[in-house]
């Protein structure tokens, strides 16, 4: 699902819908989740198995993929990537740093958010008004969940560029029924290729009960407004 969503960008994707019986972890990785519940350990291990398979396609030898201080994965030198997991789905996407500046992926159950307080936490009035209009046009789509997922993909793309937190309220996402979305940064963005980054463009898809969003930031982002 993600591979077609990210095409034609030079990104390698490996995804799975189930955990292997005994997914492999390097000792350092096992130590990172030693106190986690079994469900968390399996998610952690399976998504890293996906990541190592994707890296192997780029000719990168297996190595530990440890979480950094703020949870973002530490990729091998010269690699950019993103991982995601939810009930019934795990995936990793990687690319050479010389071909892609940054990327972010997120997967969620394709169902409305269970708690309305979550939507208020992750969105502003402009976004909620847009979701209400979209719900009239396409009532079959869980727009609130897609908005949440898109903001997760925004953060995963933003963090490797800045090393800084980005709050839900610091990016305004506009979803389109055609399977795309844009995210306007409401705080100063990093300088990329000599130009301040003002936002991201992404894609979304729903299939087999899973909603996925993805962003690929090229080496030279397009000018604002294009």
Residues 146 and 192 in one domain: yes
46 and 72, same domain (yes or no):
yes
Q: Is residue 203 part of a domain?
A: yes
Are 180 and 79 in the same domain?
no
Spatial separation of the C-alpha atoms in residues 102 and 107, rounded to whole Å: 18
Alpha helices by DSSP H, the chain: 2-6, 27-32, 38-57, 116-122, 125-137, 143-162
Last residue of a domain, one of 98, 120, 138: 98
The per-residue pLDDT for range 71-120, each reduced to its tens digit, is: 899 999 999 999 999 999 999 999 999 999 999 999 999 999 989 899 99
Q: Does residue 113 sit in the same domain as residue 181?
A: yes
CATH of the domain at 166: 3.90.470
Domain boundary among 61, 82, 98: 98
Asked, as a colleague might, if the bond just before 119 is cis with ω within 30 of 0, I would say: no
In a domain, 224, yes or no: no
Q: Are residues 213 and 156 in the same domain?
A: yes
Say if residues 146 and 211 touch (Cβ distance below 8 Å): yes
Residues 6+ apart with CB under 8 A from 2: 13, 15, 91, 93, 105, 212, 214
* Neighbouring C-alpha atoms within 13 Å toward the C-beta of 75: 22
Tell me which DSSP letter residue 168 carries.
G
- How big is the chain by its Cα radius of gyration, in Å? 17
114 in the same domain as 91: no
- Show which of 51, 74, 98 is a domain's final residue: 98
**The total number of structural domains that make up the chain:** 2
Give the chain's largest Cα–Cα span. Answer: 51
Residue 63 in domain = yes
100 vs 102: CA distance, rounded Å: 6
Q: What is the reported pLDDT for 225?
A: 58
pLDDT 10s digits, 175-226: 999 999 999 999 999 999 888 999 999 999 999 999 999 999 998 877 665 5
Q: How many CA atoms lie within 13 A of 139 on its CB side?
A: 1
> Do 114 and 202 fall into the same domain?
yes
CATH number for 27? 3.90.470.20
28 & 111 share domain: no
Residue with the larger pLDDT of the pair 74 and 70 = 74
Residues 137 and 164 in one domain: yes
87 and 116: one domain?
no
Whether residue 128 sits in one domain with residue 86:
no
Contact at 8 Å (CB) between 83 and 73? yes
**Interatomic CA distance for residues 220 and 24, integer angstroms:** 37
- pLDDT, one tens digit per residue, over 116-152 is 899 999 999 999 999 999 999 999 999 999 999 999 9
What the block records as the tokens of 39 is: 């469900």
Rounded (10°) CA dihedral 130, 82, 74, 218: -80
User: What is the span of the domain harbouring residue 161?
Assistant: 106-218
Residues 79 and 144 in one domain: no
For residue 120, being part of any structural domain is answered with: yes
* CA distance to 14, 91, 98, per residue, from 77 (Å): 20, 20, 11
């Amino acid at each position: 699902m993600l591979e077609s969503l990210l095409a034609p960008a030079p990104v390698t994707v490996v995804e799975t819908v189930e955990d292997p019986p005994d997914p492999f972890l390097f000792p350092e990785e096992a130590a990172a989740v030693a106190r986690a519940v079994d469900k968390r350990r399996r998610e952690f291990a399976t998504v890293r198995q996906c990541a190592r398979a994707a890296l192997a396609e780029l000719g990168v030898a297996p190595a530990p993929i440890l979480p950094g201080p703020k949870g973002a994965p530490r990729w091998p030198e010269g690699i950019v990537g993103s991982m995601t997991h939810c009930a019934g789905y795990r995936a990793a996407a990687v690319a050479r740093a010389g071909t892609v500046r940054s990327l972010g992926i997120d997967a969620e159950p394709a169902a409305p958010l269970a708690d309305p307080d979550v939507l208020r936490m992750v969105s502003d009035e402009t976004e909620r008004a847009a979701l209400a209009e979209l719900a009239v046009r396409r009532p079959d789509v869980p727009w609130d969940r897609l908005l949440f997922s898109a903001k997760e993909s925004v953060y995963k793309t933003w963090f490797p560029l800045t090393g800084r937190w980005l709050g839900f309220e610091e990016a305004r996402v506009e979803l389109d029924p055609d399977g795309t979305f844009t995210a306007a940064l409401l705080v100063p963005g990093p300088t990329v290729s000599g130009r301040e980054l003002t936002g991201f463009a992404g894609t979304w898809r729903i299939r087999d009960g899973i909603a996925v969003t993805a962003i690929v930031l090229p080496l030279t982002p397009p000018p604002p407004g294009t």
